[in-house]
Structure 1
């Protein structure tokens, strides 16, 4: 079961209405230009309407003069309150797809024309005396017979997990049944069921638990929390629920806050309520790609002989319940109260570079031996990581003995490395990239070197880069999966991995042969593009049969399925067919590692709060700290643009942006030099910009400014000096003064407790004239 999130994106080409919450078509998302073009063309033609709910008006495809787009300002970190107001109206006015929500399994959904299903009608144990309280009711809890487990396949590479059987109230019989046996279940059941011993168990459906959570406050209360007028919330709820399954919700940067899980769950629950999952014009899966770096039709690029198994605890403390750690068990054995943990553990998260940074600087849960940066700059991007106390600890050899960076630029994180390996830029390197949801069909784009790398030449057409560094080090220390006998082929032979093209060209061969193979490239096309000259040094990496098909893919920049073929009727062919959860048992069973209290299993409005449960307002009252911060993307500023003097001159610096009413109350005006001060220490000085496109109580700062490296300082290698362009360092870096959590010992960036998501938005700030 999934709780939602970023595996799903709107089908922009077919939707009638899209609600973007913390995301802008054309200003955020991947790929920005394609989404902008799709949204702009369809909205201007009148076939698509979309609204953007965000604290900052950032442009993109939103037009103040168009009748089909609208910007709605909202208080930062209150997205879940806004959506709960919408859901209140939709449920109260029966504007939800109750039929869809009552399908308790995929087969039942398919019979009615859907290819997704939910656990909305699954029963949850609410009985406080039951040993499985807060869990979904299973067949064994009440003695229901289940089908015999399938015989294990002795040839299978991995052990298959036995199916689980949950319980619903079958609508036809009014009695408990296996969720897999019912075609339609009671969505509104709340009451008792009887176990095999005759004992009653209090239960209710996932939908009822969600409804009760939403109805704890009314629309007026949610309006007050989020700053969006009650009438606007109702209007958007009406619009969203009036297009059948041709409506979608999307979010992005809004989930990077201490309430980020709530925001993510809220936007995906909206689409569940109307049944638009996997639907044409609804939300569809992204990253549907042809097989490349995978067990493919020609080569297995995911496995190799003697592949080692990994074990242990992730240093980011994410995805691991605190109760499973040695620390918890040791303290429990001593008879101590194990709460709070020394540092937060995030039980439902996944690997996180922002949390890894704070683990490293605190030496917890263990000391890092080697830290390696590649295609990342966490000191710049992680909120609070640019603080002096973080940088000071990272530079200590006893904290992390060895730092290696592989980078094409002297970035902030790279600058503290002991060793820097020069890396290539896009025109010099290989890559495979899949689609990001704006395209419904299978897509895999390929990139290949079109110019000679400017990095140092190692040997025969081999240049310094990340891939060659990994290959050479692995061969030197004997890591399996590299060298002359490395890549398994479909013909049971092993092929070499000694160069980047050994790997990437075999991935392209997989793409070419996935499903129905592509045709061979024609001789005319080879001559037209002079491919013989461009690729002659790589030709021997593939067989004579594979080469003309690989060239066919290379010449087109990838392989692209016709988007129209990605739908069967109005169902997405590549839809996620697992269970979508209104009630997330994994979350409900998880405990806050500081308070020991359980998280909510369903959508709930949470204020910004620190690890120990103290709310931000309790610690830093709004009267003293009236602003919340929002970091948004700048149009003319990214890593690749810093060396472009024309683009740099278009936007030489950013500003500290606030609403005109806030500026008036502070007696400030555009152009004033001001200080932005963080409640937990740290300040930044910048130029004030007063504009209507910022919500009240919000301070907006465009990301990408405030560098202290990337060519802003002079660097010297041997006798050669480079850099020293001071303008690159102009502007304000909001994440440099983002909040730390004062309830955690050591240095710890303010974060969301269940997943470890960084608090890039929100916090507590004030502004003073400098």
Structure 2
């Protein structure tokens, strides 16, 4: 909710209809008139309140720029939008070749069009930009976004746990506790009072939970604000979350503290009969004979005369097809032979895996005591289906991230808490806006992109790149492939392009992208690559500010702030009711009139003029480029119904028409209320959540067990496991680095900052003008370091390191160094650039503090240092928490 006077934005408050901003007992019903609802504005965090300064940042880019010096020199000239579009299009047109292969000897790579790559850092416009670059231009590299530097191994693990074999994808990538109704919550690397989302709603729910007597545990090597109010702080060794989770699972299995009845349900019918919304694969048989062709796979029912698409359980002394009729299986029949195949149940395999290490070994692995593991397991099990684990970035942005998440998920599976009130749920979701009247993803005359992505995600090396596999001599691949990285691999794009593997790119277009600042170990690789115009002939950046990426571009196209554009931002599972919020311009002009001076008319042209009139919304920039290129999907008759797409509003008008049809709400009401929101009071269905996942939960991940690691040629493991952080060749990082670099480096997020971009906001920067190198008291004493001392952090692949101020604290585990994100920019208007011969203004405070991402560890393979960061080969996550450093006085 924005307060605007005379066309100037004065204040921002929370939308009172939105469940992110009000608790269910406070939020007005959707039928409440706007004039009544706005009398009590919703809550908003510090970042949201400070959005005013995002709009009126004096150092925003105010017009299109063209580079006139060498890349990175900071020398520019202002140009018109028409010139920018025409010049860029002239360089892109020869690359829109959908018929010529990049390499005829390796046709699987696809056509020349794939050598154009579009990468948005953070984006909520993916459905729109896919029309332009995927269906319009025809590149397979249509959307390489930031998710792998955020939490992607969390998403991938949950997708694998909910995999739909027929659709060949995960059913669900995100679960959250029903916080208020839970009794016991364990947060693994998930900071509900600082960094999760939506933070305001999550934080308030957590405090309501605590006030009702709920207990929560924070598993984190850093003593966060969330930990300060917790029942217990568990300072786990970074990356060893799986060891703690499996240690707890061992105690629960040994002591019968799990829901055996739930686990024995082999299918939906059995689950329904026992009052369970979900069921598991615990009773499915897996072929364990390594010599059999079906080794590592679930046993299919055609082996016993049933349907091939069905599975087999052991029940009543023999194998039974898992079909439609209710079937309760035996979980521990021992090794059985079915149709000549030696098999074990998934539960038996899990138990063998969990029991392969003692509690003492798990305790040593995670750096905690056996007594603490037992206490946590007992407390968790006692709360039953109202006990929930939740993991996020801190647990998964490791080289073992997927296995950490799968191991943590096992605790939820042992209690069977999915879809229960007070348990684990997938949230209310949203009302569809992508179809209904007009399918937004359909492009008349459009194309389907084909080939292998530059970062080799969702493809298998041997299977999907057969000619490449043969050319390169099989295993290991020249660079890792990521067959289950369904949310991309952001950190692999630039190093892969620099190596030209599996092919070089000819044009790079970025949006809201902070690669060298935001991505571990990428700065040098990025800058060396983009400076080489032979390797990268064209580089276009769409950017609000002159950031660390835009500073090297050939053209910089200035977009608008989030308060000056249309979007459907989506929801997260913390919110249990259904909602589709609408983001819309709150300042600027529509059809030449200040927004808010006249009632909104959805049938008007609604041509938008931003606060800075020579900037454009990101959508209008893409439309301008697409028109200059002559691409389908924009201009007249761009949609299936023959209507045009000439402005960004045209796209969102269609989305609003769809949303209106799907909800029965008029477009005018949706715009006035900022979306469509289900009324409070619709969270539950008796003892269950109203909106249920309602499907199978996998313990055994057949997809992993039958897929080979491209760097070793060995199969991935199909079960949860603790595997210490490793390089690409599976060598443990600690065995190589620990002696010389004794500290493990971690980063974290502050509640009042957002990733890389809020250093531009003075209201937030004055809260804490710089960050620190946080070190445990005992470590500091041993090294003779005091608060405020200048210290240097050095890693194996960054001998120069970075210098910052020490902060001595008991709030970080011994042997760990913690440094917050957000600070230490070397661009972002922290220094001046020159436009048309005139030095532009700058604010040096944007460069205060330190940024440790550039010193993080590069990966290596058999002793050879690579040009990319250490990463999770399964989920695709970059590692923020596995680099080892040494600390010396500066």
Q: TM-score, normalised by structure 2?
A: 0.76
Report if the CA contact (8 A) 2:541-2:556 is conserved. yes
Pairing 1:172-251 to 2, within 5 Å after superposition: 172=316, 174-178=318-322, 180-195=324-339, 200-251=340-391
Q: Does 1:88 align with 2:206?
A: no
Q: C-alpha deviations, 1:487-528, integer Å up to 9, x for none? A: 33xxxx33221111111132123223324x13xxxxxxxxxx
Q: Does 1:760 align with 2:880?
A: yes
CA positional deviation for 1:215: 0.8
Residue 189 and residue 381 in structure 1: after superposition, are their counterparts in 2 closer, same or farther (change >3 A)?
Answer: farther
CA positional deviation for 1:341: 0.9
Q: Which residue of 1 aligns with 2:634?
A: 482
Q: d(CA) in 1 for partners of 2:714 and 2:638?
A: 49
| Secondary structure of residue in 2 paired with 1:618 | helix
Pairing 1:518-533 to 2, within 5 Å after superposition: 518=665
Report if the CA contact (8 A) 2:582-2:671 is conserved. yes
Pairing 1:20-419 to 2, within 5 Å after superposition: 20-46=187-213, 48-60=214-226, 62-64=227-229, 69-140=231-302, 142-146=303-307, 164-170=309-315, 172=316, 174-178=318-322, 180-195=324-339, 200-253=340-393, 254-286=395-427, 288-292=429-433, 294-296=434-436, 298-326=437-465, 329=467, 332=470, 338-350=474-486, 351-386=488-523, 388-419=524-555
| Secondary structure of residue in 2 paired with 1:175 | strand
CA positional deviation for 1:378: 2.0
| Secondary structure of residue in 2 paired with 1:366 | coil
| Most deviating of 94-103 and 397-406 | 397-406
Q: d(CA) in 2 for partners of 1:400 and 1:426?
A: 30
Q: Which residue of 2 aligns with 1:716?
A: 834
Q: Which residue of 2 aligns with 1:159?
A: none
| Secondary structure of residue in 2 paired with 1:51 | strand
Q: C-alpha deviations, 1:320-365, integer Å up to 9, x for none? A: 1111243x54554x7x851211111122212121222221222211
Q: d(CA) in 2 for partners of 1:266 and 1:764?
A: 24
Q: Which residue of 2 aligns with 1:737?
A: 855
Q: Which residue of 2 aligns with 1:623?
A: 739
Report if the CA contact (8 A) 1:390-1:747 is conserved. no
Q: d(CA) in 2 for partners of 1:723 and 1:237?
A: 57
Q: d(CA) in 2 for partners of 1:97 and 1:107?
A: 18
Report if the CA contact (8 A) 1:135-1:589 is conserved. yes
Q: Which residue of 2 aligns with 1:509?
A: 657
Q: TM-score, normalised by structure 1?
A: 0.87
Report if the CA contact (8 A) 2:758-2:822 is conserved. no
Aligned equivalent of 1:16, options 166, 173, 183? 183
| Secondary structure of residue in 2 paired with 1:503 | helix
Pairing 1:414-425 to 2, within 5 Å after superposition: 414-425=550-561
Aligned equivalent of 2:730, options 578, 597, 613? 613
Report if the CA contact (8 A) 2:310-2:321 is conserved. no
Q: d(CA) in 1 for partners of 2:441 and 2:718?
A: 35
Residue 569 and residue 376 in structure 1: after superposition, are their counterparts in 2 closer, same or farther (change >3 A)?
Answer: farther
Q: d(CA) in 1 for partners of 2:441 and 2:689?
A: 27
Report if the CA contact (8 A) 2:729-2:860 is conserved. no
CA positional deviation for 1:427: 1.6
CA positional deviation for 1:640: 4.9
CA positional deviation for 1:459: 12
Which residues of structure 2 form unaligned runs of 5+?
1-158, 163-171, 594-604, 611-615
Q: d(CA) in 2 for partners of 1:330 and 1:40?
A: 55
Q: Which residue of 2 aligns with 1:648?
A: 765
CA positional deviation for 1:588: 0.6
| Secondary structure of residue in 1 paired with 2:885 | strand
Q: C-alpha deviations, 1:710-762, integer Å up to 9, x for none? A: 11110222255334322211222121111001225641211112222101112
Residue 40 and residue 330 in structure 1: after superposition, are their counterparts in 2 closer, same or farther (change >3 A)?
Answer: closer
Q: Does 1:701 align with 2:844?
A: no
Report if the CA contact (8 A) 1:75-1:696 is conserved. no
Q: C-alpha deviations, 1:200-246, integer Å up to 9, x for none? A: 32111111111111111111111111112221211111121122211
Q: Which residue of 2 aligns with 1:544?
A: none
Q: d(CA) in 2 for partners of 1:694 and 1:179?
A: 52
Q: d(CA) in 2 for partners of 1:419 and 1:33?
A: 38
Q: Does 1:553 align with 2:670?
A: yes
CA positional deviation for 1:404: 1.5
| Secondary structure of residue in 2 paired with 1:221 | helix
Q: d(CA) in 2 for partners of 1:57 and 1:656?
A: 14
Q: d(CA) in 2 for partners of 1:745 and 1:312?
A: 29
| Secondary structure of residue in 1 paired with 2:245 | helix
Q: Which residue of 1 aligns with 2:694?
A: 577
Q: Does 1:676 align with 2:799?
A: no
Which residues of structure 1 form unaligned runs of 5+?
147-162, 519-548
Q: Does 1:496 align with 2:496?
A: no
Q: C-alpha deviations, 1:675-732, integer Å up to 9, x for none? A: 1111222411111111111011111010011211111110222255334322211222
Pairing 1:451-466 to 2, within 5 Å after superposition: 451-452=587-588, 461=608, 464-466=616-618
Q: Which residue of 2 aligns with 1:157?
A: none
Q: Which residue of 2 aligns with 1:659?
A: 776
Q: d(CA) in 1 for partners of 2:702 and 2:312?
A: 14
Q: d(CA) in 1 for partners of 2:442 and 2:540?
A: 26
User: Which gives a bigger RCO, structure 1 or 2 (Cα 8 Å, sep 6+)?
Assistant: 2
| Most deviating of 367-376 and 22-31 | 367-376
Report if the CA contact (8 A) 1:319-1:755 is conserved. no
CA positional deviation for 1:6: 4.4
| Secondary structure of residue in 2 paired with 1:762 | coil
Q: d(CA) in 2 for partners of 1:643 and 1:442?
A: 34
Q: C-alpha deviations, 1:343-398, integer Å up to 9, x for none? A: 11122212121222221222211112222221332222111112x24311122122
Q: C-alpha deviations, 1:619-639, integer Å up to 9, x for none? A: 22x232211111100234335
Q: d(CA) in 2 for partners of 1:338 and 1:346?
A: 16
Q: d(CA) in 2 for partners of 1:273 and 1:418?
A: 55
Q: d(CA) in 2 for partners of 1:325 and 1:276?
A: 38
Report if the CA contact (8 A) 2:520-2:855 is conserved. yes
Report if the CA contact (8 A) 1:165-1:180 is conserved. no
Q: Does 1:637 align with 2:637?
A: no
| Secondary structure of residue in 2 paired with 1:347 | coil
Report if the CA contact (8 A) 1:114-1:571 is conserved. no
Residue 570 and residue 394 in structure 1: after superposition, are their counterparts in 2 closer, same or farther (change >3 A)?
Answer: farther
Give the 4+ runs in structure 1 shifted more than 6 A: 456-459
Root-mean-square deviation (CA), in Å?
2.3
Q: C-alpha deviations, 1:412-433, integer Å up to 9, x for none? A: 1121111111111122111112
| Secondary structure of residue in 1 paired with 2:313 | strand
Q: d(CA) in 2 for partners of 1:78 and 1:446?
A: 40
Q: C-alpha deviations, 1:147-194, integer Å up to 9, x for none? A: xxxxxxxxxxxxxxxx82111112x46433235445211112332233
Report if the CA contact (8 A) 2:195-2:751 is conserved. no
| Secondary structure of residue in 1 paired with 2:435 | coil
Q: d(CA) in 1 for partners of 2:536 and 2:496?
A: 11
Report if the CA contact (8 A) 2:494-2:529 is conserved. no
